[in-house]
Structure 1
Amino acid sequence: MSISHNRREACATCSVIGSLALALVATLGLTKAAHAEGNGIDVPGFPQFFALGIGAGPRYAGADDNTWAIAPAGRLNFGERYVSLEANYLSINLLDHPNWRIGPAGILRFGRSDAESGLSDISMSLDLGGFVAFETSADDPRSRWRLAGGILQDVTGVHDGHVADVSIRRWLPAGRYGALGLGLAASWGSGQYMDTYFGVDATDAALTGIGEFLPGSGWRDIRASIYFVQPVSTEWAVGAGVLYSRLIDDAANSPATESEGQLFFGIGVARAW
């Protein structure tokens, strides 16, 4: 096998685990926090893979203490089309196009127990919708941009609302085979969604002693992430990253929110084939 071919395979694996690292950071803790939208394992035309990661983040949205979780990720390619799983988020790209991605998506939003927050339980919900993304093309898959947006609607009657998400991501080469990723994202929630996860009704106010609060629709949070990945062979790679989420507007003003700043971190390992 030529050196140039080895380099291409290493870069491909690096980019796959790079996206995985971001997905782990952004969803492992947020899976428990019940407000993560998927980030898209976004490297087109690369080998299928399976991965596992471990990470930590707040126990629920607005909590000031952390919990640990383990999550899988994987991808199956069909040319430019793909099926992507990131912990509790599934997306399917239906376009056979080198730059544009569009298709259905869904997320399992894990609930909140009264033992964690002192507030009423929130059951697990299934939210369905879609996403659209544009990715630049480059000879080196470590050097690229991705712009994406999506919207997900509850179909289980838990919060009856929807969440829209926008993001921008930049990949940069780091060393011979490594990759550095930088990302910014923000999410907007409908009134029903915000009321379910950040509202305080009369019953909760009486139980906890905090004031009643009825949030409206608006921006939920802004997020910044940084992640680094390193292939250890043409088939295996490791990655790690950190994501900081800042609750804003009514999500931050809610008396149920213990901490406006939400820190998530994770590591992962992937096997490509």
Structure 2
Amino acid sequence: MFSPVPIFSIRRAGSVDQFRSPRDNISIALIDFGDLRAGPAGKFVSSRKASSHSELYGLGDVKSAFELGGFIEYFPVDWFRVRNETRQGFGGHQGVVSDFSADFIVPVTRAITISAGPRFTWESAKAVAPYFSVDAVQAMATGLPVFDAKGGAHSVGVGAQVKYRINPQWEVHSYVEYDRLLGDAAKSPLVTARGSVNQTTVGIGASYSFDFKIR
């Protein structure tokens, strides 16, 4: 599936341009000590339409969801960052999602930066069930067995990113993120019979930096 994603970041003039991972969601650092930052975070999860993919036939639609919560990240050294986002869902799911990530950041040259590190996601039952459970009606429509998905460890993986700064204004980057589903998400008949526990995301992007004043 191809999906465009906006890139937007704002910071004070003269401040350090902090490292950002493709896994980072919308966030604002209300607490900022340089190496330690924290604040609110949010994510939009698009709806899942049964008509969009043959694998979803008979499973019904899942509405769009908004996840609101907070993040905290820490740089024990300049070249290493750990981050957690924990968010509560509203809409398509009513559960809790907690993402953990770590990134090793290596400036190869003044223009090229490579980063990579492990990923882990935990989700509550109310976050997993809408996407991986199969109720009695859905089982009759699909031929899949009834399955009541519970929460817990949801996925583990690794991600890597390459950034190239063309000049002070323009930057291009590419990334790859791999996740392996765990727990009931991996055991769901939707995955075992029609999908895969291995999930890969590849992206390319570009961003333009500019200054503005607020009077």
TM-score (norm 1): 0.68
The correspondence of residues 23-38 of structure 1 with structure 2, limited to 5 A, is none
Shift in Å, 1:87: 10
Residue 265 (structure 1) aligned with residue 205 (structure 2)? no
| 8 Å contact from structure 2 (residues 32, 38) kept in 1 | no
Residue 123 (structure 1) aligned with residue 63 (structure 2)? yes
Change (3 A) 1:88 1:181: closer
User: Who is 2:34 aligned against?
Assistant: 98
Which fold has the larger relative contact order, with Cα–Cα distance below 8 Å and residues 6 or more apart in sequence?
1
User: Who is 2:86 aligned against?
Assistant: 151
> What SS does the corresponding residue of 2:84 show, helix, strand or coil?
strand
Shift in Å, 1:237: 1.7
Q: Which runs of 5 or more structure 1 residues have no equivalent in the other structure?
A: 1-66, 139-143
**Runs of 4+ that moved beyond 3 A:** 78-82, 86-89
Give the helix-richer structure, 1 or 2.
Answer: 1
User: Who is 1:45 aligned against?
Assistant: none
> What SS does the corresponding residue of 2:7 show, helix, strand or coil?
strand
> What SS does the corresponding residue of 1:252 show, helix, strand or coil?
helix
> What SS does the corresponding residue of 1:184 show, helix, strand or coil?
strand
Q: Which amino acid aligns with 1:107?
A: K
Percent identity reads: 28
Q: Which amino acid aligns with 1:129?
A: G
1:254 aligns with one of 188, 192, 198 = 188
Change (3 A) 1:105 1:259: same
Q: Which amino acid aligns with 2:153?
A: W
Question: How many residue pairs get matched?
Answer: 199
The correspondence of residues 54-73 of structure 1 with structure 2, limited to 5 A, is 67-73=1-7
User: Who is 1:49 aligned against?
Assistant: none
Change (3 A) 1:132 1:88: closer
Deviations 1:59-86 (A, max 9, x none): xxxxxxxx1111211111135799x9x7
TM-score (norm 2): 0.85
Shift in Å, 1:88: 9.9
Distance 1:203 1:266 in 2: 37
1:223 aligns with one of 157, 164, 170 = 157
Distance 1:214 1:199 in 2: 5
